[in-house]
Chain A
Amino acid sequence: MALSEPVLDEGVVRLQGGRVDLVVVAEMVAPGSRVLDVGAGDGELLELLATTRGCDARGIELSREGVNAGVARGLAVVQGDADVDLAHYPDDAFDYVILSQTLQATRRPRWVLEQMLRIGRRAVVSFPNFGHWRSRLDLMVNGRMPVTDNMPMSWYETPNIHFCTIRDFVALAELLDARIERAVALDSSGHRVRVNMPWWVWNLLGEQAVFLLTRKG
């Protein structure tokens, strides 16, 4: 498995002023690509992709407020539900389909990933890693569902219904016959976990993970 060096340095990341994981996602996307961002929020990533990578970037977002904010900013965002609407996109419609911090909120994560790899040849997925040592500690020591900066809501009000760990995600990618081209884990302060660490360290130290998958064949 090829693990990649960070392309942008931390200084650039800071300058962007946005979420570090979005910058990590953006640098995995080749300039000038056609991109669909699933769960686009208010369009922060779309704008980043359009302005810094020259992408033809479109979004789909569940919340009306997010969509309206994005469209008012001149971005192409469609109000819709990823769990249903991805079925309406044709095969190979995009170069990349991105799912940023949304996988855990979908009802059918496996179906969504399959659709992403059908609509685009490549998929970029970022998600909070439930295998992070603090999550494990919360469960083990306190017997409570973890609440962290990346997962700030209590279990009874969070939209997140399908948490997974980095290892779980790798297993799902294998199940879907997708190739992991690149993977980046970010620790709790947003720094990349060193690339020469074994998987179990990543799974312990990574609070967020970003994967670039390619459809095989």
Chain B
Amino acid sequence: MTSFVQQDVALQDSAGASVLQARREADDPHSPVARFGARNPLKLDAGVELSHLQIAYQTYGEPNAARSNAILVCHALTGDQHAASLNPVTGKPGWWETLVGPGKPIDTERFYVICANVLGGCMGTTGPASTNPLTGQPYGLDMPVVTIRDMVNAQAMLLDHLGIDKLLCVAGGSMGGMQVLQWAASYPERVFSALPIATGARHSAQNIAFHEVGRQAVMADPDWRGGRYLAEGVTPHRGLAVARMAAHITYMSDQSLHNKFGRRLQNRDMPTFGFDADFQVESYLRHQGESFVQRFDPNSYLYVTRAMDYFDLAADHGGVLANAFRGSKTRFCVVSFTSDWLFPTEDSRAIVHALNASGANVSFTEIDSDKGHDAFLLHEPELTAITRGFLDSAARAFGLPAARQA
């Protein structure tokens, strides 16, 4: 394992090698994989069955004897199963090392933490970049469109595979938060507590609009080739980079962009009166776009953004969100951030009102932050304290031994 990681870090020197590595991860990831053969298909919302499903996942910590200390962590749009371990493609630390690890709020010394790459992803769980075992070719657009509920149903198959009957908690931000809500609605008896962060019970029209810009950028790239670029040996990297640039703006706040860059120029004293990246913020976005292309599959971006767009938990329950949680025994802790304009606090408040109306046990807090939507991935002391307090209390109520005092 270590040698692979070192090898992959060395591959970072060349963007092309990194893309190749990312493609290898789609079929043969650097993490455990659960395979479900032809006899164990996943029935999708699209009305078709997906057989030969494969789910790539990471675990941290150990299950206790009763297997009652499991926490499922759900990743966001472009995340993966490496929540608290080195990413084999980028060589960077896990995306939620702020909260997951020994002694951290999602304490891997107390809890058995599971994180799976989502259905439709490109890090080892079946998605458009995976090889279709029936044809030997990448799925591409032959992959059926998937939903958040499909992702959650796939995770439930993984939990069965791992012998986890009931989760102490399901936690996640943004698209991960959507999965948390879907878990609580689909499998209330398997979820003791739920921590949806910076998320909503449906994707707003504005959010769908931003995603559409991103998808159109990918599909407008001549190298997209109707989704068959993998078979034809090219990558629509320019389109995907533009998609990422547009999306990245929505993850930050005006204030955080201003604090980070203002109107400062990049490596020059005067504007060039041309279209180079004169401003630091331009150069930053270009860098974000380029590094994203090296680790993410363009078709996967189409599928996963689509899954978010289709998400509308109330619509699945007769238009009344409270019906999704009726009779739920799950303890909820809903968290939003003041400067998040992708999933504003009003979205969280709608969830809380529905939970109140269904009589659920719910906490809700809005954290004061100028870091925008991305705040859930960054060091936010209040998020740390709230996550720790909520999980400690849930663990106590679930009958787990108390945390060791530091």
Contacts and interface: CB of A to CB of B under 8 A. Distances in A.
A82 to B, nearest CB: 13
Contacts of B356: 78, 85, 88-90, 93
Interface stretch (A66-74, A109-117, A179-187): A66-74
B328 to A, nearest CB: 13
B86 to A, nearest CB: 30
Contacts, number: 68
A160 interface: no
B357 A68 contact: no
Contact of A79 (B353, B366, B388): B366
A88 B322 CA distance: 11
B365 A64 contact: yes
B99 to A, nearest CB: 14
B211 interface: no
B359 A90 contact: yes
Given A76-B331, A78-B352, A80-B352, A71 B357 contact: no
Contacts of A88: 353, 356-357
Interface in B353-393: 353, 356-357, 359, 361-368, 382, 385-386, 388-390, 392-393
A93 B364 CA distance: 18
Interface residues of B, number: 26
A58 interface: yes
A77 interface: yes
B396 A74 contact: yes
Interface residues of A, number: 21
Contacts of B388: 72
Contact of B364 (A72, A74, A78, A89): A78
Contacts of A75: 363, 393
B361 A73 contact: no
B333 interface: yes
Contacts of B352: 78, 80
B128 to A, nearest CB: 40
Given A85-B353, A88-B353, A78 B362 contact: yes
Given A72-B385, A74-B392, A67 B357 contact: no
Interface string A54-67: 00101000001001
B362 A64 contact: no
B35 to A, nearest CB: 40
B344 to A, nearest CB: 14
A77 B368 contact: no
A70 B390 CA distance: 10
Contacts of A56: 361
B361 A58 contact: yes
B362 A74 contact: no
A77 to B, nearest CB: 5
Contact of A68 (B353, B362, B385): B385
B365 A71 contact: yes
Contacts of B353: 85, 88
B169 to A, nearest CB: 13
Contact of A72 (B331, B359, B386, B394): B386
A90 to B, nearest CB: 6
Nearest to B390: A71
B359 A78 contact: no
A187 to B, nearest CB: 36
A79 B364 contact: yes
A94 to B, nearest CB: 9
A84 to B, nearest CB: 10
Given A68-B382, A73-B389, A90 B364 contact: no
Contacts of A71: 333, 363, 365, 386, 389-390
A85 B349 CA distance: 10
Contacts of A76: 331, 361-363
Contacts of B389: 71-74
A171 B393 CA distance: 42
B393 A74 contact: yes
Nearest to A74: B393
A37 to B, nearest CB: 13
Contacts of B382: 68, 72
Interface of A: 56, 58, 64, 67-68, 70-80, 85, 88-90, 93
Given A64-B367, A67-B366, 7 more contacts: A64-B365, A71-B363, A73-B393, A74-B393, A74-B394, A75-B393, A77-B363
Interface of B: 331, 333, 349, 352-353, 356-357, 359, 361-368, 382, 385-386, 388-390, 392-394, 396
Q: What 7 A-B pairs are tightest by C-beta distance, nearest first?
A: A74-B393, A72-B389, A72-B385, A88-B353, A78-B364, A71-B363, A67-B365
27 contacts: A56-B361, A58-B361, A64-B365, A67-B363, A67-B365, A68-B382, A72-B386, A72-B389, A73-B393, A74-B392, A74-B393, A74-B396, A75-B363, A75-B393, A76-B361, A76-B363, A78-B362, A79-B364, A80-B349, A80-B352, A80-B364, A85-B353, A88-B356, A88-B357, A90-B356, A93-B356, A93-B359
